[in-house]
Structure 1
Amino acid sequence: MKLSVLDLVPVRKDQSSADALAATLSLAKVADELGFQRYWLAEHHNMPAVGSTNPPVLISLVASATERIRVGSGGVMLPNHAPLVVAEQFSLLEAAFPGRIDLGIGRAPGTDPVTSWALRHGAGGVSDDAVNRFPEYLDNIVSMMAPEGVGLMAGGRQHVLHATPAAASVAELWLLGSSDYSARLAAEKGLPYVFAHHFAGNGTDTKAMIELYRSTFQPSELLSEPKTFLTVNASVAETAEEADRRALPQLLTMLKLRTGQPLTAQPSIDEAEKTEIPEAHQGLIDTMRSRWIIGSAAYAKARLAGMAEEYGVDEVMVNPVGSAYEGTDPRTAPAREETLRLLAG
């Protein structure tokens, strides 16, 4: 079973954005050294606890700091961007780091409605029906990144458009999603697909979406058979008790998100342990905890192997969610790094 990493660049209350980026680069180097398969960076906007606002920039930083690991987006939220811009960005990344770049694409906004408006329209950009035109935009990116480019009719003549002048290779394209829409679209277009089990799915949802994708898959020039893997939140430590303590700040952050409370930077473990969880919300915390992998190395490895077998995948992408104690160097994320080391050991 191959292991990969998903990183949202979490921002703790004791960190600046620069600190959070430094911690991410350190984590990426650890993943690279330990032999992890790929390192993906999410796209979220205007969130106090999440620093991954711009995947292409982050991918460039991470790929420059590592040697062999594949680096990609998990994912680029396409309705926020013009397809040509995405194609150009990832064509340049693939040119700089050939054979190491993944372009994961999603349809969700990844932010609140006001920020979404600013992303799409603040500079006179993407049209109002960007979400409805998602399949078309997806096709455009595939064509634009191809070495031969794509022909566009304008003014009665054909113009050839290339995302980069002389592509020697193309980033691997993945479709991401948290509903049956993305599973069906990935199958229809013959693309690799990942269901967002780490935040959207219970076991039934995940199994159903993966089976829907596999059963309706149509081979394409990009892919001859279905290709998918599993995503999961994880906190791993020497003991189950310590792993649970490290996961608590992220559980509380997700509780705020799910219940519409004002969001803040991620609390320290010390602060989280002093937080009183309302009885009405304890069930939600327990449900999230049961879906995450929280425990010792032996437990986590067995759980990952069991999930890989249950869903029929040979790769699992882990989002290491451990926070830090007060007094931890703000430019580091030791709990997140230990999760990777224990899983790989």
Structure 2
Amino acid sequence: MNSPVKPFFHPDNCFCGRSYRTWALFLMLMVFLGVAFACTGGPRPKTDPDVPYLPTPANVVYEMLRLASVSENDTVYDLGCGDGRVVIAAARDFNARAVGVEIDAELVEKSITNAAREGVSGKVRFLREDIFRADIRDAQVVTLYLLPGVNVLLIPKLFAELKPGARIVSHMHDMGDWLPDKTVRVGDSTVYLWVLPADIDGTWDVIVHGTGGPASGTLSFSQSFQVFHGTIFINGKKVRLYDTNLNGTGISFSSKSRAAGVTQITSFQGVVKDGTIEGQLVSGSKDSKEAVALYRWTAKRRNVR
């Protein structure tokens, strides 16, 4: 069967078969543009915004910062900060340090003026910069009022530069496949919250420090953002995990096994840090109202990335 898709140089496509002279002129034009591009030193810094400026209502600004649990210990970055209202509110109402990133020079100047009027100039900064190039590594909170597609394009940057546990808040628009941890309505507006999850995907060597001595095993996690599934292999048994939860660096899950007609439930809680997990577990019978034992457990990731 002949393919319905013709190759680019097929005579019926574009001008390719109409005239070799036209094709030669096209090539010369491309070469000229390439030389001109090289002579200018490559692409110029971006100076136009990715989204139109639409201010966030004051009550929504407050809810965004409240939902992110902003405190005096946080540095808040507002990407596409407009007139600086989120940055100013973070400093004025939540005593946080804050940085606004905005590519529109007039809006940056307006933000600086507004911050001075509100008396928070010493706690805020405004950068005239492309949000995709800005360094946000010292942020604990990132606020957004962009567009759905821009939000999704930011996901790799957020995971690359922010630490697990960082909070991201967006007015009106979600993050596509990355489902929010919380969603609230404020009048006609929607506010979304995400907590950046630790990277746990892969295999972990686990040790349970029990009264009879340590017992070793293996944990296997399959992760998609903050959602994960997995199994644990210990004491010669491999069982699936349930009630899984990953919130920043905090992790919890349970396992269930059955022996001698008794269902044993083990609930794990821990903290993920630098390729290790440390925490406690409670193990007991399903039919017992009291915990049988409380143990410490640790895990180390194989081939830490």
Bucket of the pairwise TM-score, normalised by the shorter protein: under 0.3
Work out which of the two has the higher radius of gyration on C-alpha atoms and give 1 or 2: 2
TM-score (norm 2): 0.25
Q: Which has the higher strand share?
A: 2
TM-score of the two chains, using structure 1 as the length reference: 0.23
Considering Cα pairs closer than 8 Å and 6+ residues apart, tell me whether 1 or 2 has the greater RCO: 1
